[in-house]
Amino acid sequence: MHHLSGHPNVVAIKGAYEDQLYVHIVMELCAGGELFDRIIQRGHYSERKAAELTRIIVGVVEACHSLGVMHRDLKPENFLLANKDDDLSLKAIDFGLSVFFKPGQIFTDVVGSPYYVAPEVLCKKYGPEADVWTAGVILYILLSGVPPFWAETQQGIFDAVLKGVIDFDSEPWPVISDSAKDLITRMLNPRPAERLTAHEVLCHPWIRDQGVAPDRPLDTAVLSRIKQFSAMNKLKKMALRVIAESLSEEEIAGLKEMFQTMDADNSGAITYDELKEGLRKYGSTLKDTEIRDLMDAVGRGQQWDH
């Protein structure tokens, strides 16, 4: 983040302080809230507004890549607004998975969030082009309210990413401009070498300032879907926080092993009964209703995937 200091759309580090136990990092206050919340609050939303937001997001990607930094965890939740008045005061946060890279360097560790991960990341052979794919996924969500690669399980999402079939037939895509769909197709090219670079994305007619993106309001259903998608992500975070607070540090460190132990039938998914029994074995005092709330919060009323 120090390498990106001074960039208007990257959260600034104000200082760092160390005590006997922790390093405390003081960052710029972003009082404007999350990106999706602002879109929902404003109500009026168009392709042009989506283009403005995408231009900022891809501008951050271009700045990162020009300095030899790959973000690796771009997603809407990692963009906050600096204040409550300026809808374009976006600030990129959370560079915890970022790495320095050299031209031609290949990375093999699988990181990122399921909806946004590029196919070459899943194949364990990737470079900075993966950030452009992720920005393309964000653009698709900004225009439709849902991710382009969707499934009920994490493995299902990964399978959809690897297939790379983009749905431009469902609503609202028939009324979205051809230029927007052209840009998304180029950003979500499954072949990294043929994918647009961040600079090339910024030069695309749809995304340029005063470009061809129309300003007519998008269907209100898009805002509804954005609201639902945002709420789902917040509930997942809440569920994980509740679980983390219910377990000791040692249990958190072995969380993956614990989930595998809970999966009694080795199905790759944890049912309500398996979760309840597993948590009790690990000393959790959560009530049945609280465990059910956790299942519901992550959008899996009957089972969790791990």
**Catalytic residue list:** 73
HSE toward the beta carbon, residue 11, CA cutoff 13 A: 21
Kindly state the tokens that stand for 89.
Answer: 């005061």
Report the C-alpha gap between 131 and 64 in whole angstroms: 10
> Tokens in use for 249?
């540090």
* Cα(113)–Cα(289) distance, integer angstroms: 29
State the Cα–Cα distance between residues 209 and 199, nearest whole angstrom: 14
Rounded to the nearest angstrom, the gap between the alpha carbon of residue 73 and the centroid of all alpha carbons in its chain is 7
Question: Using an 8 Å Cβ cutoff, are 36 and 80 in contact?
Answer: no
Instruction: Determine contact, residues 121/172, Cβ cutoff 8 Å.
Output: no
